[in-house]
């Protein structure tokens, strides 16, 4: 993956990709997310560094609001 690659899609992992990882107890109905980049790279979560199963990607969105001249930051967490 090259620096500067742009995210172009977020999709569910295919059965072929799941099988390629050896995750025999999972299927597309488990909604394992894949991040697809414009250079052909794909990233997906793993439960651990050995790849013993799929995992979850956590993140957050920062919302800055201003009311009566006072700025406030609100963090909204999510998982995919």
Specify the pLDDT at position 40. 93
- Taking the C-alpha atoms of residue 18 and residue 54, their distance in angstroms, rounded to an integer, is 9
* Residues 71-80 pLDDT 10s: 888 888 888 7
CA dihedral of 47, 51, 53, 58, whole degrees rounded to 10: 30
Specify the pLDDT at position 9. 97
CA-only gyration radius of the chain, Å? 17
Segment 27-47 shows an average pLDDT of: 91
Specify the pLDDT at position 69. 83
How many degrees, rounded to 5, is the angle at CA 27 between CA 55 and CA 43? 40
User: Looking at 8-17, 21-30, 33-42, which range is the least confident one?
Assistant: 21-30
Rounded to two decimals, what is the model's pTM?
0.74
Delimit the domains of the chain by residue range. Answer: 7-79
* Residues 47-66 pLDDT 10s: 999 999 999 889 999 888 88
- Taking the C-alpha atoms of residue 28 and residue 69, their distance in angstroms, rounded to an integer, is 48
pLDDT at 42 over 90: yes
HSE on the CB side for 48, CA within 13 Å? Answer: 2
């Amino acid at each position: 993956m090259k620096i500067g690659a742009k995210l172009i899609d977020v999709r569910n992992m295919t059965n072929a990709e799941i099988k390629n990882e050896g995750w025999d107890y999972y299927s597309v109905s488990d909604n394992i997310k894949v991040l697809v980049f414009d250079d052909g790279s794909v990233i997906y979560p793993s439960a651990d560094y050995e790849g013993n199963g799929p995992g979850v990607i956590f993140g957050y969105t920062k919302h800055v609001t201003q009311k009566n001249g006072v700025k406030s930051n609100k963090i909204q967490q999510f998982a995919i």
